[in-house]
Amino acid sequence: MSDTGAQGPGQGPGAEQEMRMPTVPELVLSTAQLAISLAADEIARKGDLEQAQLAIDTADALMPLVGRLLPPEHLRQYRRALSELQLAYAEASAPASAPAAGQEPEPAKDTQPTVETPPRPPIWTPGGDV
């Protein structure tokens, strides 16, 4: 058999650099941040509200762990973002009510959720921090 020059994983020009795996705290914080971002995106574009609810529930389930990792002022940002998402979800999933007879319909208001997202933890990359 001849060697065709194909290199497998770990054999290329940066093979001496070992891939750095994320730490558990980085994983928890980035997962919570991603869940918040995905839920906000689904609600903003009036996408799949079941997906938004799943993302909100995921972020909510991670809050006790986030609370163990962050100081109180940063935890408040996560909790505020989660609360705003829950309100935006409730508004987006509420059935549109028809105006009563003789009343004019209310003008459409901007339903974009205003979510203040907490600071993002560093993203894991094979070559190092981003």
Q: Do the Cβ atoms of 56 and 82 come closer than 8 Å?
A: yes
| Cβ atoms within 10 Å of 110's Cβ, excluding its own | 6
Q: Looking at the domain assignment, is residue 82 inside a domain?
A: yes
| Of the candidate ranges 31-35, 74-78, 110-114, the one whose mean pLDDT is the lowest | 110-114
Q: Is 124 a domain residue?
A: no
Over residues 51-63, mean pLDDT: 96
Confidence of residue 18 (pLDDT cuts 50, 70, 90): confident
Is pLDDT above 80 for 92?
A: yes
Domain assignment present for 17: no
Residue 130 in any domain: the answer is no
Q: Which pLDDT score, from 0 to 100, does residue 81 have?
A: 94
Percent of the chain with pLDDT over 70: 68
3 part of a folded domain: no
Listed residue (112, 51, 113, 49) closest to 82, CA to CA: 113
Banded model confidence at residue 104, pLDDT cuts 50, 70, 90: low
- Sign of the four-CA dihedral 34, 79, 57, 69: positive
Mean local confidence (pLDDT), 63-88: 94
Residue 58 lies in a domain: yes
Q: Which domain holds residue 80?
A: 24-92
Q: Could you tell me if residue 45 is inside a domain?
A: yes
Mean pLDDT of 76-92: 94
Number of domains in the chain: 1
Amino acid (one-letter) located at 102: G
The DSSP-derived string for 71-111 is: -HHHHHHHHHHHHHHHHHHHHHHSPPPPPPTT-PPPPP---
Residue 68: inside a domain, yes or no?
A: yes
Report the range out of 5-9, 11-15, 59-63, 120-124 with the highest average pLDDT: 59-63
pLDDT score of 109: 59
- Left, alpha or beta for 61 (phi > 0: left; psi -120 to 50: alpha)? alpha
